[in-house]
Each structure stands twice: as structure tokens, then as C-alpha cells.
Amino acid sequence: MAEPFGLLAELTYRCPLACAYCSNPVNLGDYTEELSTSDWARVFSEARDLGVLQCHLSGGEPLLRRDLVALVSAASSLGLYTNLVTSAVGLSRGTASRLRDAGLDHVQISIQADQPLISDRLAGIPSFHRKVAAMRVVKELGWPLTVNVVLHRQNIDRVGELLEFAASVGADRVELANTQYYGWAWQNRDALLPSRSQLAAAEEVVRSFSSSDLDVLYVVPDYYGKYPKPCMGGWAARQLTVTPNGDVLPCPAAQSLPLPRASVHSASLASIWADSPVMNAFRGTDWMPSPCASCDRRGVDFGGCRCQAFQLTGDAARTDPVCHLSPDHALVTDAVAAANESVDVPLIPRPHRARA
């Protein structure tokens, strides 16, 4: 059993935005009792002892945690590489300076589109100009900057402009990641899934884009793949997630699965990683049904995403329906066929929840 490399610390699910593609849980009421500062400090220490090297501070919006500077300091003092994953709404120069002094290593800022009107519409609040201002502060303070864009039917036609935007703000890296259909995004799948022609055009733009200063990561949507992606490098293989209330999961979407809970309130990270049912449920390949069990790709994609399999079939042990060999593949091809009928479906905004 390998040691985990990265910890995703979901500090809060509170967020000032109302993005219709949000993959966080819909039942936010279950996560109102957030871990304390001392709880998180203990989690970071146990993660370091377990072998974790990278600590990604995420949410929701982590800037809504009043103790964020203290949390960064706690993780940084342990030698963890710290990355703030933020909407940047609320990232003032003063806050940024305090985070830098606390040891924050990297900042990742999300943007919904390259134009204010589109970006603000997709975010649910006026935020574009605040995001751009925060990106400038990040670069002025000497941090590496990643710009993250969740792509979908509503913005994928502007991939070229998004790349130019990322370059213009001095980003070191841009992540163009197509929507994952969990949480609120699942409610909006018909309005978010791009057409085949949109994808083909976007991929051509990305291939032709050239910049010596900008590292570009483009992630195609699962629904258009022949084989599933090796989700998180395999179930409980190299990554773990701790949710705002202390649940420990192999990936951010696994809270939707009907598996026994493991919590930092009742066990150490080391014992949870090694022995808990949630971590061992789909670890390795012995659990696999046909056709995965006899497939020569079983050690490559590990049967695909367990959360996606459950979302689509109601059975987390099924072969990911994205795979063209899956007996449930029609569930995906039907969704793709509907997306290619070019019928506009209105987005359902995610409710705001910025307070405890």
C-alpha cells in the first residue's frame, strides 16, 4: 500500500459564488460543524507523518475561514507544500501579504470566463474584476499562479480567449478542466455537457496555442472518452480528502457513496488510510467485476471513477459507464446524443451559502 502524496483539505463548503457547475455536496447542511483550528493542525501533522507532501487548502471558499492564516502557518511549519484553491473573492492585498508571511507556496484562482458579463453570470455574483485584481496581487507578491477554468457548454467556445486571458495576467499555469458531474453540476448536466463540435473546436485551439511562459493542462470530458480516466490515480492510492466536518475520503466526490464513514474525530489518519472500509472498498483490483476483472487496462484506469459509476448506475462497483466496454455505456451515449441536439437548457443556479 503506497503512502498518500497529497491532502485536499476542504476547509469549508461555504462560498460567496453560486456556480451552476459546483461539484460540492448539495446537502450543505450536513457540513455546518466545521473542524476547529486545532483539529486541522492535528490533521496536517498526521498527514505529514503519513507521507503527505502537498496540502491543498480548498472549499467552498477557504478565505471564509477566519483562521486561514493560522492554518497555512500550521501546514507550512510542518514542511508541507501549501496551495490555496480559491475564487479570490475576499483576497485583499492585506490578506495576501499575511498568507505569504505565513508560508503559503502557491495560489490557484478560478475564473468562469474571460469577459466580465459572462464570468459574473456564471459565478452568480459580480466577481470578475475582483478576481483579476487578486491575480495581479498574487503575481506582485511573487507567488506562482494557476488559473483554473471549469469548461462546459456555456464557456468552452471561448477557450482561445481564456488562454489569452491567462497569459495576460501572468499565470504560470492554466487548467482547462471540463465539468465533473457531481453535486450541483449533476443537476445541471443537460445545460453543461458540450457538443462534439464544441469539443473538437476547443481541442484544436488548445493544440495550436503556443506560449513559452504558460503551462496548459486540458482535461477532456469523461463522457467523450473511449476509456475512463484513472480517477485520482486509483482509489485510495495517492490522495486523500478531509471534508469540513472531518470525514476522510479517497476523493472529493466520495461523500455521495453509501460507504461507512471515517472521521478524524474518532481515528487517526494513519489508521483510516490503512484500515477503514471507505479506503479499502475499491483499493487495488480484487474488487472488480467483469469486464474490468479480465481487462488488460485494469491496472491503468482501475475501472474508472467509482463515484461516476454510482451516480449513473446506483452501484459503485459497476464498471464506469464512460468505458465503451461497460454494459451501461448507453447511459453515457444517450447523454452525449442529447447534448448534440443543440437544445439550450437553462442553468439552475447553486444557492449562495457564505455564512456559517
What is the per-residue pLDDT across 14-25, written as a single tens digit (0 to 9) for each? Answer: 999 999 999 888
How many residues comprise the chain?
A: 356
11 with 71: CB under 8 angstroms?
Answer: yes
DSSP state of 263: B
The span from the CA of 279 to the CA of 247, in Å, is 12
**Residues with Cβ < 8 Å from 233, sequence gap 6 or more?**
239
Query: What are the DSSP calls for 59-81, one per residue?
Result: SS-GGG-TTHHHHHHHHHHTT-E
Q: Is the pLDDT of residue 330 over 50?
A: yes
Condensed to tens digits (0 to 9), the pLDDT of residues 153-168 reads 999 999 999 999 999 9
Q: Show binding-site residues for [4Fe-4S] cluster.
A: 15, 19, 22
Helices and strands: H and E segment counts in the chain = 14, 9
Encoded amino acid at 326, one letter: S
Q: Show binding-site residues.
A: 15, 19, 22
Q: Which CATH number fits domain 1-355: 3.40.50.720, 3.40.50.11440, 3.20.20.70, 4.10.490.10?
A: 3.20.20.70
The pLDDT score that the predictor gives to residue 352 is 61
The pLDDT score that the predictor gives to residue 353 is 60
Encoded amino acid at 198, one letter: Q
The pLDDT score that the predictor gives to residue 230 is 83
Annotate 296-306 with b (16+ C-beta within 10 A) or e (fewer): ebeeebbbbbb
**Residues with Cβ < 8 Å from 197, sequence gap 6 or more?**
340
- 356 confidence band (pLDDT: 50, 70, 90): very low
Q: Is the pLDDT of residue 255 over 80?
A: yes
Mean pLDDT, residues 111-124: 96
Average pLDDT, the chain: 93
Question: What's the predicted TM-score (pTM) here?
Answer: 0.94
Encoded amino acid at 95, one letter: T
The pLDDT score that the predictor gives to residue 29 is 75
Domain ranges for the chain, please list them.
Answer: 1-355
